[in-house]
Structure 1
Amino acid sequence: MNFEINQDSFIPAKNTIFQVKATNMPASKIEKEMCPNGKLRKTIKKLSDDNGAYVIVSSMNGF
């Protein structure tokens, strides 16, 4: 399937999962969140296969 997204849209794909964290999420923590034990979560893999998007929102600055 090929979905067109309005360029003014802030949602990157029609099928998008948002995960909101109230903790600091630098890249190293995001990788562990997405790939526990070094393996990509099945949910995220399926989302990718379906041209979806996975967005992590952190309420703390990771820089």
Structure 2
Amino acid sequence: MNGYRCHWSGPGPGDPELLTVKDLKRVQQADVLLYDALILEPNAFLSAVLQQLPAEIPTI
């Protein structure tokens, strides 16, 4: 195993601005954040995630 991990997260059917504590920790510990190119405009969930992302972490 190469040691890389990939975690998926989404807003689900609830409030799109809410993140779980587990998701928040994973975002704050991420080396890189990937998100779908189909998100043409930042939505509430993506905005909430990006606000928690350390500035030095690249987004793709």
With the shorter chain as reference, the TM-score category is under 0.3
Rg comparison, structure with higher value: 1
Q: TM-score, normalised by structure 2?
A: 0.27
Q: Which has the higher strand share?
A: 1
Question: 1 or 2 for the larger relative contact order (CA 8 Å, sep ≥6)?
Answer: 1
